[in-house]
Chains A and B, each alone.
Chain A
Amino acid sequence: MELLDSFIFITLIKAAVVLAVLLTTLAYLQWVERKVIAHVQVRPGPYRVGPHGLLQPVADIIKLLTKEDLLPPYVNKPLYLLAPFLAISMALLSISVIPFGPMIKVGPVTTWMQLTDLNIGVLFILAVSSMGVYGIALAGWASNNKYALIGGLRSSAQMISYELPMSLAIAAPLLISNTLSLRELVMSQAGGIFHWNILHGPFPQVISFIIFMIAAFAETNRVPFDLPEAENELVAGFHTEYSSMKFASFFMAEYANMITVSAMATLLFLGGWMAPWPVAWGANLVPTVIFAIAGVTALYHGANPARKRDKLTLPVFGIIFLIIAGVFLLPIVQSWLLPLFWFAAKTGAILFLFMWVRATLPRFRYDQLMGFTWKFLFPVAMLNLLVTSFLVAWTTK
């Protein structure tokens, strides 16, 4: 009992759970991205390793671990080795303040579904993400390669420029919620979709949300702002000279940053783990309905298979989905599974947007990228912040 209640024990367990889930998500996000882009472009995507390519991430990890770890002769050795470590650790650090759900009871222990709640949580994430720039910039410089150097320079210039509209866009919903702690931020948005900061009075933060999302694409170096690794002019950009697990760390850092900004958008604008409408109107049934529809669809396609292998795999998926749909109806698990479902659904929707955009849009030109943020995003974000602060001051008086 003494041990179970101790702060360190609970925190260690929570950290282990969060890390395991996060790393698995990172590996499978890659599979999801390849599948989504493939289906947008009307191809099947990964299909050979395991049913529907589901074991592809495992194969990728084994491949990356067993590749030869090259150390090019003319690199600046300490910085070359430090850069991927810096990138991945800063990317993983910010997950420690993200709240996934409300207070829960596991046996005798009551705890929050969050590693730690800082009263400067939002600033902590900004600080950590601004330190993440060093990983990329140093990788470009230490590689002693002209393509890597240009990639590193582009990325540091781009990240400094887009940090401004991003911070201004974050400040506006903070004014409405009147807190910097991520947990209190979500609590202040309780009570349905019209209490979320994106639609909440006195000034709905739609503009701010759009600016935040655009800046988030640039901050994570994703299409259409992926100039640091523009493959048709810079080979692979800042990670040209990296191989094996060092390359994998940059890759994981990019996906971890994607998860962090999606979670930030969910927490700041979309009400975190809160359901979009009250329980009285059947909010608790939504996950069951979604998984039931998915299960029935999979069963139908299993009965009329497009490919030979689907005859076996799709019915199995269908039955698994139906079981999950049933699990969501159990009252014992509902208290912690439902908030987790809403948080994952909102974050997942934004992650899907990242992939959708990657499959659809071409890349910006460099001068367009810089002109866009300094001449358009920054003034609009400033104006939005001014109007918001004026209206907040007006209505609270």
Chain B
Amino acid sequence: MDVILFLIFAVVAVVCAINVVVQTHPISSALSLVGVMGSLAVLYLLLGAEFIAAAQVIVYAGAIMVLFVFVIMLLNAGAETKKGRSYLIPGAPLLIVFLGLMAYYVQRYLFPESAVVRFGGFTGGGPKDIGNALFTTYLLPFEVTSILILVAIIGAVVLARKEIE
């Protein structure tokens, strides 16, 4: 069951990811990206990381991508003008070889067999575990990241503000 669901949503994620690049209209690309986020959330759920799955949908698919779609709709961006696809002939095989090498390297050397998480074997993804991890082990990185994000927000407001004369 786990494997079947994993295969379904992995395929959906990859197809959507390819679709982001292939589509000529920005709205279609943005929606494909939502599809990627959604299938990633399901993959997190399969691993047993419920909280991360919910956060993925709420933050990425539900807030950030809605803003993307909102801006695309507001600017009324049209479809890209079609250019020739001749660059695909050398590009596509190179890309496949590159991705294959990457996958082999990651699977073989970056993560040894012992560090791989199996379906259902991961228990650190519930709200309690995440809270404990954030406020004990990773307290300092968490707070530093928060301050970084705060600085970025204030910076954005300062840059976007109109000068009142």
Cross-chain contact B70 with A120 (CB below 8 angstroms): no
Residues of B close to A134: CB separation below 8 A: 31, 34, 66, 69
Cross-chain contact A153 with B73 (CB below 8 angstroms): yes
> Is B62 an interface residue when CB atoms closer than 8 A count as contact?
yes
Query: What's the least CB distance linking B36 to chain A, in Å?
Result: 14
Say which size band chain B's interface belongs to.
20 to 34
Choose one: A79, A130, A141; the contact of B57 (CB below 8 Å). Answer: A130
Segment at the B interface, from A155-163, A189-197, A293-301? A155-163
Complex-state Cα separation, A123 to B54, whole angstroms: 6
Interface string of B39-76 (1 = CB under 8 A from A): 00000000000110111011001110011011001101
> Is A234 an interface residue when CB atoms closer than 8 A count as contact?
no
Residues of B close to A79: CB separation below 8 A: 27-28, 31
Residues of A close to B28: CB separation below 8 A: 79
Cross-chain contact B126 with A160 (CB below 8 angstroms): no
Choose one: B54, B63, B70; the contact of A157 (CB below 8 Å). Answer: B70
Query: What's the least CB distance linking B120 to chain A, in Å?
Result: 15
Interface string of A98-132 (1 = CB under 8 A from B): 00000000000000000000111001101100110
Q: Using A79-B27, A120-B54, A120-B127 as known contacts, say yes or no to A127 and B69 having CB atoms under 8 A apart.
A: no
Query: What's the least CB distance linking B23 to chain A, in Å?
Result: 11
Query: What's the least CB distance linking A141 to chain B, in Å?
Result: 5
> B-contacting residues of A (Cβ < 8 Å)?
76, 79, 118-120, 123-124, 126-127, 130-131, 133-134, 137-138, 140-141, 149, 152-153, 156-157, 159-160, 163, 180
Known: A127-B61, A131-B62, A141-B73. 16 other contacts (CB 8 A): A79-B28, A120-B53, A123-B51, A123-B58, A127-B57, A131-B61, A134-B69, A137-B70, A137-B73, A138-B31, A141-B27, A141-B69, A156-B69, A156-B70, A163-B62, A163-B63
Q: Would you mind naming 28 contact pairs between A and B with Cβ atoms under 8 Å apart?
A: A76-B27, A118-B50, A119-B127, A123-B55, A123-B58, A124-B54, A126-B58, A127-B54, A130-B57, A130-B61, A130-B66, A131-B57, A134-B66, A134-B69, A137-B66, A137-B69, A138-B31, A138-B69, A141-B69, A141-B73, A149-B76, A153-B74, A156-B66, A156-B69, A156-B70, A159-B66, A160-B66, A180-B127
